[in-house]
């Protein structure tokens, strides 16, 4: 006989990863948590509402995004203290990874409350594993600052990093980023991963100047995961 799954724990904040494109990437565990929780805190209630509707789930929702994090975090903590089971979701991927979530997690832990991650789709992992670049060491940068000087400074500081660099970028700034990478890392291999898990998923590989030539001929849409090969460590190996 199949063993019954344990019920959700009262007063727990569940961080539920949602699909980054392909709806088939939702996990069975994520669906169960969304069905059994008391309320869903969502980055965009309309977007997440469509996801819940697709899977036949109806739950009370409250918005939780960058500009109301402080206020909503207090409300979520109060709900948890009352024993409610709260599922936190963002528009895509894992809450807290270049998306809202970090603030409420810290607040919940400081209040002595329970936090549980429900893992699932994550753009940086999907891109890294299929990139062909080294995976044993990598550094996730997320989105770079918007101001050119700050972006350039951060890229310069990362020049000594030996692992693969992973950056998120919008289609509106991807050409600008490649230009900056061409100035700072002209000889590195760059991988552009876009439309991950979707119909038009694509990986483009080459040096920055080569990818800039591609952009001149094509209009690339969709969010990008940009991977930069790390510095090559010299190995002193003796021939035997």
**Model pLDDT for residues 146-192, shown as the tens digit of each residue:** 998 999 999 999 999 989 999 999 999 999 999 999 999 999 999 99
* Residue-range definition of the domain harbouring residue 95: 12-118
CATH of the domain at 132: 3.30.950.10
Q: How many CA atoms lie within 13 A of 141 on its CB side?
A: 21
User: β-strand 224-228 against 164-169: which pairing, if any?
Assistant: antiparallel
Residue 106 sits in the same domain as residue 165: no
Residue 45 sits in the same domain as residue 127: no
C-alpha–C-alpha distance, residues 67 and 195, integer Å: 27
| pLDDT over 90 at 237, yes or no | no
- DSSP structural state of residue 182: H
Number of domains in the chain: 2
Residue 106 sits in the same domain as residue 130: no
In degrees rounded to 5, what are phi and psi of residue 85? -105, 115
User: β-strand 12-16 against 114-118: which pairing, if any?
Assistant: parallel
Q: Given 101, 118, 135, which residue is the final one in a domain?
A: 118
Q: Given 118, 138, 171, which residue is the final one in a domain?
A: 118
- pTM, two decimals, is 0.90
Answer for the pair 21, 92: CB distance below 8 angstroms, yes or no. Answer: yes
| pLDDT over 60 at 27, yes or no | yes
Residue 146 sits in the same domain as residue 182: yes
Residue 60 sits in the same domain as residue 128: no
Q: Given 57, 84, 118, which residue is the final one in a domain?
A: 118
pLDDT, tens digit, 9 for 90 and up, residues 65-116: 877 888 899 999 999 999 999 999 999 999 999 988 999 999 999 999 999 9
Tokens of 229: 């090969």
Residue 214 confidence (pLDDT):
94
Residue 3 confidence (pLDDT):
65
């Amino acid at each position: 006989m199949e063993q019954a799954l344990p019920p959700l724990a009262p007063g727990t904040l569940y961080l539920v990863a949602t699909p980054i494109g392909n709806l088939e990437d939702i996990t069975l565990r994520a669906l169960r948590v969304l069905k059994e929780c008391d309320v869903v805190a969502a980055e965009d209630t309309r977007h997440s509402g469509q996801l819940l509707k697709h899977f036949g789930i109806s739950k009370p929702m409250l918005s939780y995004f960058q500009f109301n994090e402080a206020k909503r975090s207090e409300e979520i903590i109060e709900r948890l203290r009352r024993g409610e089971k709260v599922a936190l979701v963002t528009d895509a991927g894992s809450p807290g990874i270049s998306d809202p979530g970090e603030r409420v997690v810290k607040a919940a832990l400081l209040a002595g409350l329970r936090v549980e991650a429900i893992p699932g789709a994550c753009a940086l992992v999907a891109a890294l594993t299929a990139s062909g670049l080294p995976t044993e060491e990598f550094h996730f940068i997320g989105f770079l600052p918007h101001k050119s000087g700050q972006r350039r400074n951060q890229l310069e500081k990362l020049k000594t990093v030996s692992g693969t660099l992973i950056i998120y970028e919008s289609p509106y700034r991807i050409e600008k980023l490649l230009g900056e990478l061409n100035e700072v890392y002209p000889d590195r291999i760059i991988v552009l991963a876009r439309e991950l898990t979707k119909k038009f998923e694509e990986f483009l590989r080459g040096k920055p100047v080569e990818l800039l030539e591609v952009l001149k001929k094509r209009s690339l849409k969709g969010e990008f995961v940009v991977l930069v090969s790390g510095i090559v460590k010299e190995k002193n190996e003796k021939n035997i």
